[in-house]
Amino acid sequence: GENVEQHPSTLSVQEGDSAVIKCTYSDSASNYFPWYKQELGKRPQLIIDIRSNVGEKKDQRIAVTLNKTAKHFSLHITETQPEDSAVYFCAATYSGGYQKVTFGIGTKLQVIP
Amino acid sequence: SAVISQKPSRDICQRGTSLTIQCQVDSQVTMMFWYRQQPGQSLTLIATANQGSEATYESGFVIDKFPISRPNLTFSTLTVSNMSPEDSSIYLCVLTGQGTGGLSYNEQFFGPGTRLTVL
User: In this complex, do A43 and B108 lie within 8 Å of one another by their Cβ atoms?
Assistant: no
DSSP per-residue string spanning B76-101: EEEEE-S--GGG-EEEEEEEES--TT
Most A CBs within 10 Å, among B23, B38, B42, B56, to test the A interface: B42
Q: What is the mean pLDDT of chain B?
A: 89
- Read off the pLDDT of each residue in A79-106 and give the average, rounded to a whole number: 88
Kindly state the helix (H) or strand (E) to which residue B47 belongs, with its residue range. strand B44-49
Write the residue in A44, A89, A95 that is nearest to B105 by C-beta: A95
Q: How many CB pairs under 8 A join A and B?
A: 43
Chain B nearest-CA distance from A107, in A, is 10
Identify whether the C-beta of residue B118 lies closer than 8 Å to the C-beta of residue B88.
yes
- Give the three-state DSSP class for A36: strand
How far is A8 from B92, CA to CA, in rounded Å? 25
How far is B6 from B33, CA to CA, in rounded Å? 13
Chain A nearest-CA distance from B10, in A, is 12
pLDDT reported for residue B101: 47
- Read off the pLDDT of each residue in A78-96 and give the average, rounded to a whole number: 92
User: In this complex, do A43 and B112 lie within 8 Å of one another by their Cβ atoms?
Assistant: yes
How far is B112 from B9, CA to CA, in rounded Å? 8
Residue B89 has pLDDT above 70, yes or no: yes
Q: Are strands B114-118 and B10-13 parallel, antiparallel or unpaired?
A: parallel
Residues of chain B neighbouring A98 (CB-CB closer than 8 A) = 30-31, 96-97, 106
Give the tens place of pLDDT for each residue, B17-64: 999 999 999 987 778 899 999 988 889 999 999 888 899 999 999 999
The gap from C-alpha B102 to its chain's centroid, in whole angstroms, comes to: 21
What are φ and ψ of residue B26, in 5° steps? -90, 5
User: In this complex, do A43 and B33 lie within 8 Å of one another by their Cβ atoms?
Assistant: no
Chain A nearest-CA distance from B81, in A, is 24
User: In this complex, do A101 and B45 lie within 8 Å of one another by their Cβ atoms?
Assistant: yes
